[in-house]
Every structure is written in C-alpha cells, then in structure tokens.
Amino acid sequence: MKANAIQVEDVGLNLDELREAIQEEYEAVAAEPQRGFHFHTGRPLARLLDYKAEWLAGIPEAAVESFAGTGNPFSLGEIKPGERVVDIGCGAGIDSLIAARMVGSEGQVIGVDMTPAMLNKARRAANEAGLESVIFRQGYGEELPVADEWADVVISNGVLNLMPDKDAGLKEMARVLKPNGRLQIGDILVQKEVPQSAKQKIDLWTG
C-alpha cells in the first residue's frame, strides 16, 4: 500500500479521500442508476459494448441497470465450463453472473469490489438468478482477497483506470492467475496527455 500512497501523493491527492470519492460515485450508480452520469450505464451501455442478448438473458435487472463498464471482456476469448474466474471491480455483478453461467456448476467465480452497495446488489442478483458458483468479496484491486494462482481467467471492466496504483493492480492480476492464465480486460485509453492539474481533480478519477 505504500506504493499507492506515493503515486497518489505525487499528484497531490490523499489515497483515502480518493477511494472515498470513487465509492461515493459508484454508490450512486448502485442506488440511482437512472440518475445520469458522465458515462453510460445499464442496458444501453451493454448494447453499445456489443454484449450478446444471450449473455444478458436471465441476468437480473438489478445487475444490468448498474452496469458501468467501458469494454467487453467476453469478446476477448471464450470462458469455458469448469474454469475459475476473478472479476475485479465487479460492481453490481453483471460480468460475474455472465461468467458464472459460462463456467457452470463445476466452475467458480469470485467478484471483488470495494463498494458495499454494489456488492449487496450483486449478491441479491446472484440469489435471484440461482447462481451458486459465484461469490462476492469486498476488497481493493491492489490487494485482491484471492489466493495465489487460483484463477484461469481474470476479467475486469472499466476499473483499472480507477485504481490509484495501476502497477500494483496489474501485479495482483498476475499473482492470482495460474501460469498460462488469461487476462481479459475492458478499460480506457487516453490519447492525449493529461496535465498535472487535471490529475489533481478527484472528479476526473471517479468517472
């Protein structure tokens, strides 16, 4: 965690305040998904990101409506029955539930998120869908509550860019993957250099 503090302090931000601001933003996405944010959400976003209708069929609306991803991890490779998947920054659980259906009863999915309101929605959605192969744990991307070399696949969607220490987040992804395990990530690419003054604005980190 010291590396996090150094990176965030480098741009004049406090790590705890930054995480609190990100949590507040995503608590709002959990509680009021229709409110309107500076990113798309829900089913329209899933269509924009080319999610197949068959993946979304049977996924409870509570998980779909708070979806706030930026890409499509499932377009990057097949997730097979019996595999173990970690979903980092799972939010209300849409990708974890889709993955749970792909891995079936012989596989396992662990969804990790730092926002309790999102985890509550995700757990309720998993119960509603009757999916027992998925569990949800509270934690940070830089300190995953997952054993070494547990996963066949790590997925994440629109979350790496929110992590204060992206290098630590990537190293955690490598730690929890088995050798030859796959990383399938949706995130963002910033094509223009972000000035230091913009990096100091918490609202630019939270979206």
Partner 1 sequence: MAVIMAGFVDFEITWRKDVFSGAPQSGSAADFGTLGINFRARKPRTEAEWHAALKALNCEIPLAASEVK
Within 141-160, the residues that bind partner 1 by CB under 8 A are 158
23 binds partner 1 per the rule CB under 8 A: no
Q: Which is nearer to partner 1, 135 or 170 (CB)?
A: 170
Structural contact between residues 184 and 71, judged by C-beta atoms closer than 8 angstroms: no
Q: Which is nearer to partner 1, 66 or 184 (CB)?
A: 184
Q: Which is nearer to partner 1, 113 or 165 (CB)?
A: 165
Q: Which stretch binds partner 1 (CB under 8 A): 56-64, 65-73, 80-88, 109-117?
A: 65-73
| CA quadruple 160, 22, 13, 162: dihedral, nearest 10 | 10
Structural contact between residues 86 and 184, judged by C-beta atoms closer than 8 angstroms: no
For 13-45, give the DSSP string: --HHHHHHHHHHHHHHHHH-TTS--SS--HHHH
Looking at 15, 37, 43, 143, which residue binds partner 1 (CB under 8 A)?
A: 37
Structural contact between residues 99 and 69, judged by C-beta atoms closer than 8 angstroms: no
Q: How far apart are CA 190 and CA 170, in angstroms?
A: 18
The site map against partner 1 for 95-114 (x = CB under 8 A) is --------------------
Beta-bridge partner residues of 87: 111, 155
Footprint of partner 1 (CB under 8 A): 35-40, 45, 48-49, 70-73, 75-77, 158, 166-167, 170-171, 173-175, 177-192, 194, 198, 204, 207
